[in-house]
Amino acid sequence: MNQLKWPFGFAGVLSADNSGAAAEWADEYAKKMIAKIQKAYLQIEKDAQVKSQNVKNNGTLTIVRYFLELTHLIQLKNATIQWDDERLKILLRGTRKEVELSNLYAPYIQLMDEIDGAITQCTKDMKNHHLSSVKSTSDLIQYLSTQQGCGNLILLILYNSYYVDEYFNNHQSNNNRLHFQNALKKTYQEPLKMIFNYEDWIKPHRETILEYISVVKCPYCDRNYIANALSEDGEILTTADLDHYHIKSLFPMFALSLFNLIPACNTCNSKFKGAKQTRTTYPYEIGFQNHAQFYTEASLLEKIKLIQGRTDANFMIKLKTADSVGQEIQSMIQGDCDVFQLERVYALHKNLVRDLYWRSIIYYSNDYIVAAKKLLNDNQIDKDLYWFLYGYDESDDGQDHENTLSKLRRDIIQEIEELYTEMDIQLGDGKE
């Protein structure tokens, strides 16, 4: 099973090699989605042919043959997924690495980037040339047909001209390039959204996906619990969102892929991330646990005030990457900090840091260890002291899988240990 890494691990339902109830469900999910995808594609392909025939009958273009031979959707089909059941199954329920190995990942992202770049360049050219004669979709297509390298753009507009028509109807001026770019982009996003129809098709499976992933806290912030619960009438209720790591508005072909669905709290998914394109860590593969650390930005004097339990200690909670982390991961962690505003939201938890520092006096007190051993009749209690004092329950993999703010607790506890070592204060041996 895959493990989400930051800041804890939990079982996933990915990879065709899995077995058990989760894997059986994932297979059934893929089977149902494949049937819907194939049906939707055939319908859209049929609609495209009707549209092209209407264009031909109206005599508005001279490139109908080119459109019939190479619509955007057919180009996508041939360049990436080819729409056979086995490859669709990998796309829907495989890990990201399996999707990459099947040549379904990079070609699609590259194609989307190329089309996005072509649209941006085309609209810049139109603005620079001040093409006041372009007043309608037909005018635009006639203009593009004279420009080298604009064939794909013409196909996009032909494929679904509704959004371009809407632009010309509502924005009479050519100068609003941003609105025009968005109108063009919708022409290639819309067919894929209809084929990989997240809004209509994922709803019956959403709670089941969250149930099998079995997450209890948000992997992006580690601050909020997310879980399923049963209502009185047996309906599954959830406090979690399903975040699309590759946002579905730009990458609709990944909208139904389990590898692209990350359980997250509503704050991180809807309020902070939204449709931002900033690259962040991918929780199924890269975690914060050993790549970045929380720390208190404060002088030694202020840290001593914290140990003394003084409320006037001046400090900030910061997050830094480890020295051994490469540039790519550093960039992704910075993306997490920016998108999810980690330092700003963690500033709300300064009282927790104060409490951990104050409790450390007890932890490093020999009298406390002696009393604890007597009370529990346990001479091997050292590990349990973490839980009794700090509320941090470390598992064998060095993570706390159940409690929120565990990453902050772990890092600050380590910071306190280093501080005590620096001050040459040793943990008691528990002997009277």
Render pLDDT for 183-218 as a digit per residue (tens, 0 to 9): 666 666 777 788 889 988 887 888 888 877 777 889
Where is the domain boundary, 261, 286, 311? 286
In the predicted model, is pLDDT for residue 346 greater than 60?
Answer: yes
Q: Which of 259, 286, 313 is the endpoint of a domain? A: 286
pLDDT band, residue 3 (cuts 50/70/90): very low
Residue 150 in this model has a pLDDT that exceeds 70: no
Mean pLDDT, to the nearest integer, of 155-168? Answer: 61
Same domain, 38 and 178: yes
Residues 375 and 271 in one domain: no
Q: Is residue 318 domain-shared with residue 281, that is, in the same domain?
A: no
Q: Is 318 domain-assigned?
A: yes
Structural domain that includes position 175: 1-286
* Band of residue 106 on the pLDDT scale cut at 50, 70, 90: confident
Per residue, the 3-state secondary structure of the chain, as one string, reads CCECCCCCCCECCCCCCCCCHHHHHHHHHHHHHHHHHHHHHHHHHHHHHHHHHHHHHHCCCCCHHHHHHCCHHHHHHHHHHCCCHHHHHHHHHCCHHHHHHCCCCHHHHHHHHHHHHHHHHHHHHHHHHCCCCCCCHHHHHHHHCCCCCCHHHHHHHHHCCHHHHHHHHHCCCCCCHHHHHHHHHHHHHHHHHHHCCHHHHCHHHHHHHHHHHCCCECCCCCCCECCEEECCCCCEEECCEEEECCCCCCCHHHCCCHHHEEEECHHHHHHHHCCCCCCCCCCCCCCCCCCEEEEEECCHHHHHHHHCCCCCCCCEEEEEECCCCCHHHHHHHHHHHHHHCHHHHHHHHHHHHHHHHHHHHHHCCHHHHHHHHHHHCCCCCHHHHHHHHHCCCCCCCCCCCCCCCHHHHHHHHHHHHHHHHHCCCCCCCCCC
**Range of lowest pLDDT (112-116, 222-226, 262-266, 419-423):** 112-116
Q: Does 312 reside within a domain?
A: yes
Identify the residue with better confidence: 128 or 404: 404
34 and 175: one domain?
Answer: yes
State percent of the chain over pLDDT 90: 22
- Where is pLDDT greater, at 157 or 73? 157
What is residue 15's predicted lDDT score, i.e. its pLDDT?
46
Residues 244 and 373 in one domain: no
Q: What local confidence, expressed as pLDDT, does residue 319 receive?
A: 93
Please tell me whether residues 28 and 70 are part of one structural domain: yes
Q: How many domains does the chain have?
A: 2
- In the predicted model, is pLDDT for residue 26 greater than 80? yes
409 occurs within a structural domain: yes
Residues 149 and 280 in one domain: yes
pLDDT at 243: 93
pLDDT at 12 over 50: no
Is 428 among the domain residues? no
Residue that wins the pLDDT comparison between 144 and 281: 281
For residue 61, the model assigns a pLDDT of 37
Q: Within this chain, do residues 350 and 275 fall inside the same structural domain, yes or no?
A: no
* 201 vs 165, more confident: 201
Residues 129 and 14 in one domain: yes
Q: Looking at the structure, do residues 358 and 276 belong to the same domain, yes or no? A: no
pTM of the model: 0.77
Answer yes or no: is 431 within a domain. no
Whether residues 313 and 394 fall in one domain: yes
Which of 239, 256, 286 finishes a domain? 286
The confidence score (pLDDT) of residue 170 equals 63
Domain annotation covers residue 51:
yes
Asked whether residue 430 is assigned to any structural domain, the reply reads: no
- pLDDT score of 317: 97
- Average pLDDT score over the chain: 75
8 in a domain, yes or no? yes
Residue 358 has pLDDT above 80, yes or no: yes
Q: Which pLDDT score, from 0 to 100, does residue 70 have?
A: 38
Residues 265 and 372 in one domain: no
